[in-house]
Amino acid sequence: MKIKELRKSKHISQQKMAMDLNTNQNTISRYETGVREPGISELIRIADYFEVSIDYLVGRTDNPKFYK
């Protein structure tokens, strides 16, 4: 989960990001530290938020074989 990198590249706090996504700061923190994982709908919202693919978000970009 590349949330932390993406968030920092946008120079926003966990707090702001949490607000934007209608959730809590601690939830974002957990995603970033990996102690919790978001469900699919949350995953999509985060990907939308950063305008990246889910595959990138979850670190699956280096996988050479997804085409569709």
Please give the residues from 18 up to 47 whose contact with a copy of itself meets the rule CB under 8 A. Answer: 37-40, 43-44, 47
Please give the residues from 6 up to 65 whose contact with DNA meets the rule CB under 7 A. Answer: 8, 13-15, 22-27, 29-30, 32-33, 35-39, 42
Q: Is 13 left (phi over 0), alpha (psi -120 to 50) or beta?
A: beta
The two tokens of residue 13 are 């706090």
The count of residues interacting with DNA (CB under 7 A) is 20
47 neighbors 7 (Cβ within 8 angstroms): no
The two tokens of residue 49 are 């938020």
- Residues contributing to the site for DNA (CB under 7 A): 8, 13-15, 22-27, 29-30, 32-33, 35-39, 42
